[in-house]
Structure 1
Amino acid sequence: MARKQRIHYEGALYHVICRGNNREYIFDKEEDKKIYLETILRYKEKYKFKLYAYCIMDNHGHLLIEVGKVPLSKIMQGIQQVFTMKYNKKNGRTGHVFEQRYKAILCNKDEYLLSLIRYIHQNPMRAGIKEKLDYQWSSHRTYIEKNASRLVDYKYILSILSEDINKAIKKYAELIEEEIDKEEMTEEELNKGIRQDRQPKQHETKKLDHKYIKQKTCEYYGVEPNELSKKTRKQKIVNARKALILISKEFSDISNKELAKELHLAESTVSNILSDENNKKLTQIIKL
């Protein structure tokens, strides 16, 4: 079965998790961790995405990425392929290095950015690593030590906490020291991401608020929300309405019936919009 086509949004925030094939310890050597980070930097400079946090454990890695114009799939394809080539050459082997497809969870930036950074930086603590937060292969120390970094976009995160850099670091340190219940984080934080970047399972829920989607769609198309429910042939309003239907069905729990009622459309019209492949392009570049 073909994989479901991804919808790319400029500014989308992803929590990416990469595991070694068969849970192999592909990062157990410091040299391999260094090569992986160097590869990430190479593609960060090429594709202009933002990296807010990382933690490279021995058999998996966590990345918190905000994409720009280039979709995550292309970014990760480059990173994974180059590392795989170097890893196999260095170890005289062939075949897969990573576990099939990486896992990527699209998250609500406004609500979960700081929580995800904390979750990622606390990985060594949960794994029982003696260095805990001082673990060398995470981005935590970049935040604490104010080290200039081409890899980690830490200044933006600190600016959220305070305009004063020293106060921001203090607040960050306090935030990171707060204990996260692992089960709560897994269920509440990770599953409150919008969608996983793979074929969704039936039990996965969609977590973007429909009103938020409507606001962003209207901002992109330059229309007022009340215009979406009016009878009109203006192309930008027609396109905005179609985009709202497509994105809402992809990323929220709203039903066809509810969309039809809100937009003053027949339910069959909503179904036709959703089934028309030509409409998919309308959703490709809206920034949520």
Structure 2
Amino acid sequence: MARTARLKETYGIYYIYQASSAERPLFGSDEDRSYFLEILKRAQKKFEFKLYAYCMLSPNAYHLVLDPNGSDLSSIMKSINIGYAMYVKCEHPLFRDRYKSTPLTSDEQVQNQIRSIHQQSSSVYNSYCHYDLKHPLPLDWISPLTKESYGGTSLTGGDQKVQDLSCQNCITTFDDAESLLIRIAKEDGKTATELLKDKACRNQLIKDFRRQSTLSLKELGALFGGLSESSVCKILNK
């Protein structure tokens, strides 16, 4: 019987689960885990997906929570799994079946899923080390998680952000973001207004501030010259 084709998944947050086959564990050592992390980072750089959580402490499976951010989820996973399988070079199939992807459509689902895959360990092979408020390990490739991650609506009400899962060492207020933008412009010998006249520079800064802050799309638009939320969205998706 032919297997059912996957729907093309390009936006939204997904929980990804991939298990090993019975012949070999996915991770035989921390060296394997380190190599998998490098593959994950390279895939993120190539496809520009947003990674919110990961765990590879089990020898037999890995877990991810990510947003394809406009890229094809199937292509992302193929890149990760093929890259790792080529590294392992095992005689038998490495993975048991295809990866499983589950859409997470509310902030509650995302938070619960991240908590369920996190084990309270300071290991770099588990992104709990990033969210641990007592001893956070800064990981600049983990995306900040805010209400805009769910498409601009928060099921927690009002303009509340998902504070307990937001990134560490991120810009959290508009005033701090504005001060940083002014400082960046000053280092370039310009005012903020002059700096933003260069659209390529402005667009890159919008992407950088999106990754390194918990500002909403509306706040980003106000910071970068009064852009609408839809305009900011288009820039982020380029």
TM range (shorter): 0.5 to 0.7
Q: After TM superposition, list the pairs within 5 Å mapping 1:127-166 onto structure 2.
A: 132-144=120-132, 145-154=135-144, 156=146, 159-161=161-163
Deviations 1:250-283 (A, max 9, x none): xxxxxxxxxxxxxxxxxxxxxxxxxxxxxxxxxx
For the pair shown, which has the larger CA radius of gyration, 1 or 2? 1
Q: Shift of the alpha carbon at 1:143?
A: 1.7
Aligned mates of 2:75, 2:61 — CA distance in 1 = 20
Question: TM-score w.r.t. structure 1 length?
Answer: 0.48
User: CA, structure 1 residues 165+77, in 2 after alignment: closer, same or farther (shift >3 Å)?
Assistant: closer
Aligned mates of 1:23, 1:53 — CA distance in 2 = 27
User: CA, structure 1 residues 109+48, in 2 after alignment: closer, same or farther (shift >3 Å)?
Assistant: farther
**Structure 1 gap ranges (5+):** 123-131, 169-288
- The aligned counterpart of 2:229 is none
Q: After TM superposition, list the pairs within 5 Å mapping 1:53-72 onto structure 2.
A: 53-56=53-56, 57-72=58-73
Q: Shift of the alpha carbon at 1:97?
A: 1.1
User: CA, structure 1 residues 37+11, in 2 after alignment: closer, same or farther (shift >3 Å)?
Assistant: same
Q: Which has the higher helix share?
A: 1
1:51 aligns with 2:51: yes
Question: TM-score w.r.t. structure 2 length?
Answer: 0.57
User: CA, structure 1 residues 154+69, in 2 after alignment: closer, same or farther (shift >3 Å)?
Assistant: closer
1:114 to 103, 111, 118: 111
Deviations 1:181-204 (A, max 9, x none): xxxxxxxxxxxxxxxxxxxxxxxx
**Kindly, what percent of the aligned residue pairs are identical?**
27
Q: After TM superposition, list the pairs within 5 Å mapping 1:207-226 onto structure 2.
A: none
SS of equivalent to 2:5: coil
SS of equivalent to 2:162: helix
Aligned mates of 1:163, 1:41 — CA distance in 2 = 20
Q: After TM superposition, list the pairs within 5 Å mapping 1:184-195 onto structure 2.
A: none
Q: After TM superposition, list the pairs within 5 Å mapping 1:250-261 onto structure 2.
A: none
User: CA, structure 1 residues 38+165, in 2 after alignment: closer, same or farther (shift >3 Å)?
Assistant: closer
SS of equivalent to 2:91: coil
Asked if the contact 1:19–1:60 (Cα under 8 Å) also holds between the matched residues in 2, the reply is: yes
User: CA, structure 1 residues 101+10, in 2 after alignment: closer, same or farther (shift >3 Å)?
Assistant: closer
Q: How many residues align?
A: 154
Asked if the contact 1:51–1:152 (Cα under 8 Å) also holds between the matched residues in 2, the reply is: yes
1:105 aligns with 2:102: yes
**Structure 2 gap ranges (5+):** 148-159, 171-238
Deviations 1:64-113 (A, max 9, x none): 1111221211100000001000111xxxx434211121111122133311
Q: After TM superposition, list the pairs within 5 Å mapping 1:67-86 onto structure 2.
A: 67-86=68-87
